[in-house]
Structure 1
Amino acid sequence: MSLYAELHRHLGGSVVPRILWRYFERNRSDLAQRFTGYSDFEEFFTRPRNTLSEYLELHTLVESVQTHEALPYFIYRLIRGAYIFENLAYLELRYTPYLRTPEHLPQSERIDKMAEIIEIVGRASQQTEYPIVTRQILCMHSRLPYEVNRAIVDLAAQYPNYICAVDLAGGDAQYSERLDEFVGLYAHARSLGLNTTGHLYETTEGCYPKLLPYLMRIGHGIQIPLRHPELLREVAARGQCLEVCPTTYLKTGTLQEINQLKPVFDRCFDEGVDIAICTDNAGLHNVRLPFEYESLLTHDVIGFNELRACQEAAFRHAFAWPHRKQPSSLLTDVLLRQIDNMREDELREGGAEDSLLLS
């Protein structure tokens, strides 16, 4: 049984449509009434958008219901599905904690409440019946003020048991006017000993080489091999990994066909740049991580050797996978065997996917 590591999944886009719809029916009839039924909602939620900005607006819908009361509901179902249907052994879940705090509160009180959100997500992610190694990545946001983003970085350093890195989200085309500010925030994060990743070089408008030296991984980064291949040797020398999310680029209009990713993989492999295949927003796409691998394979974007290399790269670049604390592979091997055994026991017990999704 193949096991997977997921390095780029957003909490706001991780909830599959059926579970979100069931939550609306039970708890937010005002949102459910906007649609004629589930089919109408699913079509709205998963259809391709014209731009990344339009695509990101869907996060606002989900963030509004991912309150501190509802987060355990969503995270339990996320972890369960990731374990049973995706064979995930490792998951980094990223989100902006400020956007899960009550909107009516003043900024200072919302900042204070971010710690509560981190603890709720952390506790809810520790599911003994579905033993996935999980960590959080806290996202700064291009539309939030400096004070909030600085507080997010500082808070990340206070919860090493829950948080493995910081990120910058909100659409990479929005960074230009505040680029020096974001460079300073990343420099501060590195000074605190934090791991770093960031949404960068996803779109043609989001190419900022000034940020690259501060990142340990690059969120998306597909425009580097596509439009700026001269940077690949620097990326390889830094040991940076691209977090490539194939379906995202079709949903945002960044690419028209998945075959357009072939030069991304070919050029990265040629220059020794690792790629971790990820889902980004599995719920918005209504796909699971093994499908992303299969889709790349069946469209001849990668071969089986490259598929295996990407699987291994994901674990190698995972910020909190056990090998980072114990260089010997013994701990990893033991953990993998435990996960395999528990997963086989789970699958033998049966249970249809539909009944799991609806509960």
Structure 2
Amino acid sequence: MTGPKIELHVHLEGTVRPAALLAFARRNNQPLPADTVEGLAALYQFRDFADFIRAWLTTVACLRTADDFRQVVLAYAAEAAGHGAVYLEGIFSPVPGVELAETFAGYAEGAAEARERHGVIVRLTPDLHRRLDPAEAVEVAQLAVRYRDRGVVGLGLGGAETDAPATDYAKAFAVARDGGLGLVPHAGENAGPESLREILAFAPDRIRHGIRAAEEPALLSEIAGRGLVLDVCPTSNLRTGAVPELARHPLPQLRAAGISCSINTDDPAMFDTDLQREYQLAESMGVTAVEAYAAGVAGALCDPATRAELVAIGRRHYPAA
């Protein structure tokens, strides 16, 4: 599928392919379940969402330095550019045992370099994990605000939705919003409509996943009425068990309800996918590349000049849109 693409939901840690993961682990003396690229394939054969989180934590533990984080951004920018990406919002989380400042600095350096080297605009949306202490979450939010001039545009909330209520992170959300950042939490992925209703109370700028809104018509209407973009990740939903099979994916219902849906990889290395494949899957469910791009523009947390640039790119490539 040709044409420019926008990706608003990609966990940068989940973009690390097995060969790179092995190199990071060896350089940083971090243990892995296997010491070969082939052997690492088993790491990503998780059975459910909890198993996926365990694999994700193993991957994160191999990234220890600012230069590691810089390299992760650059590698994915190159990969995504090969699939037509022109704009990405990369997600990253605090890494246990690594100074927050080093994490932010590395990702910010990579984001700045990505435009020059690969022609991709990269913005950053650090994610709070639902097992993170709320006081630490405030520290992450404060640092995110300080990095606004280095590419940070939003604050997210991830992890298993049943681990902790979103209200535990209300203070961090307030810090981010007061500091000019957007709020882009995960909700409605591995928990149902109640998770979405809780998040809607915080007036999010966009919702990551949100597919379980299809279970409740009133929620569909509210999300559509607010003009909220949902970040949909088809392969991710299948691999984590959020959706049992593609034929039962709620993307057509979301679209029929008038909800704009951006199309994303989530964790492409861990789910053995790429942006091209996700756009193809979305098209098989009725979402054209033009619609996906338009949703990306609508949901992006970028500044007005960048948005104007994305609109111009879309008009050049999708003149009939």
Aligned residue number for residue 221 of structure 1: 210
Aligned residue number for residue 75 of structure 1: 73
| Aligned-residue identity in percent | 21
Aligned length: 310
Counterparts in 2 of 1:5-44, with a 5 A limit? Answer: 5-24=6-25, 27=27, 31=31, 34-35=33-34, 37-42=36-41, 44=42
TM-superposed deviation, 1:236: 1.6
Query: Which of 268, 287, 292 in structure 2 is aligned with 1:310?
Result: 292
Aligned residue number for residue 285 of structure 2: 301
The TM-score with structure 1 as length reference comes to 0.78
Q: Distance in 1 between matches of 2:136 and 2:44?
A: 31
Per mean C-alpha deviation after superposition, the further-off stretch among 310-319 and 205-214 is 205-214
Aligned residue number for residue 267 of structure 1: 253
TM-superposed deviation, 1:272: 1.7
Q: Distance in 1 between matches of 2:173 and 2:252?
A: 30
Q: Distance in 2 between matches of 1:191 and 1:80?
A: 34
Query: Which of 128, 131, 139 in structure 1 is aligned with 2:127?
Result: 139
Counterparts in 2 of 1:224-263, with a 5 A limit? Answer: 224-225=213-214, 227-261=215-249
Deviations 1:139-179 (Å, cap 9, x if unpaired)? 11111111110111111111112201000012112123xx4
TM-superposed deviation, 1:66: 1.2
Equivalent pair of 2:188/2:210 in contact (CA under 8 Å): yes
Q: Distance in 1 between matches of 2:100 and 2:109?
A: 14
Corresponding residue SS for 2:118: coil
Cα RMSD after superposing both structures: 2.6
Q: Distance in 2 between matches of 1:36 and 1:166?
A: 35
* Alignment-mate amino acid for residue 301 of structure 1: M
Cα gap change, 1:296 to 1:180, in 2 (>3 Å): closer
Q: Distance in 2 between matches of 1:289 and 1:326?
A: 21
1:204 and 2:191 correspond: yes
1:56 and 2:29 correspond: no
Q: Distance in 2 between matches of 1:171 and 1:30?
A: 25
TM-superposed deviation, 1:88: 1.0
TM-superposed deviation, 1:312: 1.5
Q: Distance in 2 between matches of 1:223 and 1:170?
A: 16
Q: Distance in 1 between matches of 2:11 and 2:135?
A: 23
Q: Distance in 2 between matches of 1:66 and 1:80?
A: 19
Aligned residue number for residue 180 of structure 2: 193
Larger gyration radius, structure 1 or structure 2: 1
* Alignment-mate amino acid for residue 286 of structure 1: D
Deviations 1:104-148 (Å, cap 9, x if unpaired)? xxxxxxxxx312321221112223121110011011111111111
Q: Distance in 2 between matches of 1:249 and 1:94?
A: 17
Query: Which of 147, 156, 160 in structure 2 is aligned with 1:171?
Result: 160
Aligned residue number for residue 288 of structure 1: 274
Equivalent pair of 2:211/2:232 in contact (CA under 8 Å): yes
Q: Distance in 2 between matches of 1:279 and 1:238?
A: 25
Corresponding residue SS for 2:266: coil
TM-superposed deviation, 1:64: 1.1
Equivalent pair of 1:203/1:254 in contact (CA under 8 Å): yes
The TM-score with structure 2 as length reference comes to 0.87
Q: Distance in 2 between matches of 1:254 and 1:269?
A: 18
Q: Distance in 1 between matches of 2:118 and 2:306?
A: 23
Query: Which of 108, 120, 130 in structure 1 is aligned with 2:106?
Result: 120
Equivalent pair of 1:10/1:95 in contact (CA under 8 Å): yes
Stretches of structure 1 lacking an aligned partner (at least 5 in a row) = 103-112, 340-359
Equivalent pair of 1:242/1:276 in contact (CA under 8 Å): yes
Q: Distance in 2 between matches of 1:334 and 1:243?
A: 22
Q: Distance in 2 between matches of 1:167 and 1:4?
A: 22
Q: Which runs of 4+ in 1 moved over 4 A?
A: 333-339
Q: Distance in 2 between matches of 1:30 and 1:94?
A: 23
